[in-house]
Structure 1
Amino acid sequence: MSGSGFAAAEPLRAEFAELESEMADPSVHADVSRARRIGRRYAELTPIIKALAEHEVLAADVQAARELAAEDASFAEELPALEERLTAVTERVTRLLVPTDPNDLSDLIMEIKSGEGGEESALFAADLLRMYTRYAEGRGWKVTELDAQPTDLGGWKSVTVAIKAPATGETMPYGALKFEGGVHRVQRIPVTESQGRVHTSAAGVLVMPDVEPDEVELNEADLRIDVFRASGPGGQGVNTTDSAVRITHLPSGIVVSCQNERSQLQNREQAMRMLRSRLVAAAEEEAARTASDARRSQVRTVDRSERIRTYNFPENRIADHRIGFKAHNLDAVLDGDLQPVLDALAEADLEARLQAGADA
């Protein structure tokens, strides 16, 4: 155990020093994918290393104050405040050292699909997309539509987007939004309702890390690639060639398609991007399915059929059923003010992981 009192600290310090050395090597930056991975890990470790350094300084100050308190009353007066600060930093370091999801520092791919409720569900899917887009734009993140199936009234049967941060930071799209996967239920009077009755419908959200090409090994022999003519809006010429691409991953049965880009090559690249994310998400689901009860009891669910949240328009209320979160500011949430519920979900997940570590 190091002088900081945290057994996990020394390996992280060594890793951080190695990352600093690599980042100073010009050859590393010639490999964009490698440089991005190193940058993500460096960003992940930076707050931990800073907190450890702060803890060491405070621990030394507390020790010195204790030794001198008997001789000098001024040190005795300082001691309670120093000990209080040390306790707070110790708790912060303990929380930072809890193992995290390695994908937390990734960009993300999000798929939103209409469910029960017909056209009203498709309109709600559009509301969800707007909510996540507003939230992302507020963080300075870029939202790019990868594939979409619109409806006549302006909703979405299905829409897939990529959300990307301009630079690696302590909070990245996947880490922020990973708990949004599941069934979202809405209660409101649909625009198609002539009697003024409140209806209940739902849309499903799938959140996946946007992984680098070299992070997922794909065998071309495992892929069936079909091309077809794109349909729907897309500008002049979109429907005149077989530019849309559908890729089937034969071992898993996962199917992805993309028709938003102008060229077949661009659509193929985007479809492969979506496939890699789907495969990572499927692997994580399988790992979680066979994990311990403690892992399964965490906030994040692997069951995308689970109803996770209700949006009640008549009461202007949002309720997250996993953690008992409720707020009467639905209008603000749908306008992108998601941070309070995201913070509550992240805190509940952290507490579950802390408890799991204590029980291990």
Structure 2
Amino acid sequence: MFAKLDSVESRYEEVNMSLQRPDIASDQTKYRALMKEFAELEKIVILFRDYKKKTANLKDSKELLTAEQDPEMREMIREEVKELEEAIPQLEEALKIALLPKDPNDDKNILLEIRAGAGGDEASLFADELFRGYAHYAGTMGWKAEMVSYSAGNVGGAKEVIVSISGESVFSKMKHESGVHRVQRVPKTEAAGRIHTSTVTVAVIPEVEVKDIKINQSDLHIETMRSQGAGGQSVNRTESAVRIVHIPTGIEVKCQEGKSQLSNRERALQILAAKLQQIEDDKRLKEASDARLDQIGTGDRSERIRTYNFPQTRITDHRIGLTIHQLDQVMGGKFELLIDPLNAYFQAEALKKQASNAY
């Protein structure tokens, strides 16, 4: 690990020097690429230098403790040694995580798709609540959430919501939210007070540039329509909504929240490109024999990653056995109560895999 860290630090210094060269500064493509690499390396180097500093301090403190005779000074040094001995292993773990192979999509923005599954109207109501919870979470993270498409349910709520979320490391935070979310509660229309079970499917798709994906225009069926839903003043006045069907795959994309037909068309093509890229990524994973469940599944009640039990104010993530009784806080936007433990768990699993491959 430390040989790798030394090479990272050397590369960091090399990139830093390159950024100061006039020929690099005048070439915006090279400059941006190096700045991105510099920022990624800097996170590791800061940790590594802190580790080296604390390790050196620990060695010095132990030597001082051996030589020091004054009782008060010895107690102060012992306290410092204790703090350093606690901090250093934590830094080691942080460095191991920082050196894990990076998911190439981690820095990308995402398309968040939420669809009502089993459970009828109650599923639509929860789909809307889940969307609003994620939107609040995006706000607390300093991300930008933009509505792409909203299809209303029969009695309120949403049959389908598509949102674009942009910001720092959005996919790396949100990628484990994909799957079936199950909700258990008593519907407002339930006179007997019985608990109903409904499901909502969530897909987190990393955004891609349309130019990076080959899409034949002859494979597309494009039509325009009037926007629907609770949009702005232009809703239902002009045919600005765009629907695109990719004939070879049957993928259908609809975009209605843009100000013009052109902006909706561009956004719909971007969504289509992201979905086609996801299909290619899934194919590569299967070819590599990397066992992976389909991201969404059928929406059946049995295929769930998480259960939201409203009567008990309880949320359980079934993948890691995590249960918390802070349902109101999570639905209010505090998704970090679930997302942070999930990311920590999968990082730990990656470390285990890395360690087993080393032997």
Please tell me the TM-score bracket, short chain as reference.
Answer: 0.7 to 0.9
Match for 2:296 among 304, 316, 324?
A: 304
Percent identity of paired positions between Structure 1 and Structure 2: 35
Cα offset for 1:176? 1.2
Matched, 1:133 2:135: yes
Cα offset for 1:213? 4.2
SS of corresponding position for 1:207:
strand
Cα offset for 1:359? 1.6
Cα offset for 1:287? 3.2
Give the letter for the 1:106 counterpart: K
Aligned counterpart, 1:110: 112
Matched, 1:257 2:243: no
Cα offset for 1:343? 1.2
Q: Distance in 2 between matches of 1:279 and 1:22?
A: 37
Q: Cα–Cα, structure 1 residues 244 and 315, in superposed 2: closer, same or farther, change >3 Å? A: same
Matched, 1:155 2:157: yes
Q: Distance in 1 between matches of 2:16 and 2:198?
A: 51
SS of corresponding position for 1:137:
helix
Cα offset for 1:341? 1.2
Alignment RMSD: 3.0
Cα offset for 1:209? 1.4
Aligned counterpart, 1:276: 273
Conserved 8 A contact 2:25-2:31:
no
Conserved 8 A contact 1:189-1:198:
yes
Gap runs ≥5 in structure 1: none
Q: Distance in 2 between matches of 1:284 and 1:20?
A: 34
Matches within 5 A, 1:1-360: 6-17=2-13, 19-20=15-16, 25-29=24-28, 35=32, 40-62=36-58, 72-73=67-68, 80-81=81-82, 82-165=84-167, 168=168, 172-214=169-211, 216-221=212-217, 223-233=219-229, 234-291=231-288, 296=291, 302-305=294-297, 306-360=303-357
Cα offset for 1:181? 0.5
Cα offset for 1:80? 4.5
Q: Cα–Cα, structure 1 residues 336 and 153, in superposed 2: closer, same or farther, change >3 Å? A: same
Give the letter for the 2:186 counterpart: I
Conserved 8 A contact 2:108-2:206:
yes
Cα offset for 1:212? 3.7
Cα offset for 1:202? 0.5
Cα offset for 1:337? 1.3
SS of corresponding position for 2:180:
strand
Give the letter for the 2:93 counterpart: E
Q: Distance in 2 between matches of 1:83 and 1:48?
A: 21
Q: Distance in 2 between matches of 1:227 and 1:50?
A: 52
Aligned counterpart, 2:300: none
Conserved 8 A contact 2:228-2:256:
no
Give the letter for the 2:267 counterpart: Q
SS of corresponding position for 2:114:
strand
Cα offset for 1:304? 1.8
Q: Cα–Cα, structure 1 residues 220 and 190, in superposed 2: closer, same or farther, change >3 Å? A: same
Q: Cα–Cα, structure 1 residues 274 and 12, in superposed 2: closer, same or farther, change >3 Å? A: farther
Q: Cα–Cα, structure 1 residues 18 and 155, in superposed 2: closer, same or farther, change >3 Å? A: farther
Q: Distance in 2 between matches of 1:38 and 1:246?
A: 39
Q: Cα–Cα, structure 1 residues 126 and 140, in superposed 2: closer, same or farther, change >3 Å? A: same
Q: Cα–Cα, structure 1 residues 194 and 18, in superposed 2: closer, same or farther, change >3 Å? A: farther
Conserved 8 A contact 1:288-1:302:
no
Q: Distance in 2 between matches of 1:18 and 1:114?
A: 51
Cα offset for 1:270? 0.7
Conserved 8 A contact 1:318-1:329:
yes
Q: Cα–Cα, structure 1 residues 266 and 125, in superposed 2: closer, same or farther, change >3 Å? A: same
Mean Cα displacement is larger for which, 278-287 or 146-155? 278-287
Gap runs ≥5 in structure 2: 298-302
Give the letter for the 1:289 counterpart: K
Q: Distance in 1 between matches of 2:125 and 2:36?
A: 36
Q: Cα–Cα, structure 1 residues 71 and 173, in superposed 2: closer, same or farther, change >3 Å? A: closer
Runs of 4+ in structure 1 over 6 Å off: none
Q: Distance in 2 between matches of 1:8 and 1:192?
A: 61
Q: Distance in 2 between matches of 1:267 and 1:156?
A: 20
Q: Distance in 1 between matches of 2:261 and 2:8?
A: 45
SS of corresponding position for 1:8:
helix
Mean Cα displacement is larger for which, 172-181 or 283-292? 283-292
Map Cα deviations across residues 204-248 of structure 1 (whole Å, 9 max, x no partner): 00001123445x232334641412212413344543544332333
Cα offset for 1:69? 6.6
Q: Distance in 2 between matches of 1:319 and 1:207?
A: 20
Q: Cα–Cα, structure 1 residues 198 and 65, in superposed 2: closer, same or farther, change >3 Å? A: closer
Cα offset for 1:17? 4.3
Q: Distance in 2 between matches of 1:153 and 1:100?
A: 43
Map Cα deviations across residues 91-114 of structure 1 (whole Å, 9 max, x no partner): 321222112212122221100000
Q: How many residues are matched? A: 341
Q: Cα–Cα, structure 1 residues 88 and 332, in superposed 2: closer, same or farther, change >3 Å? A: closer
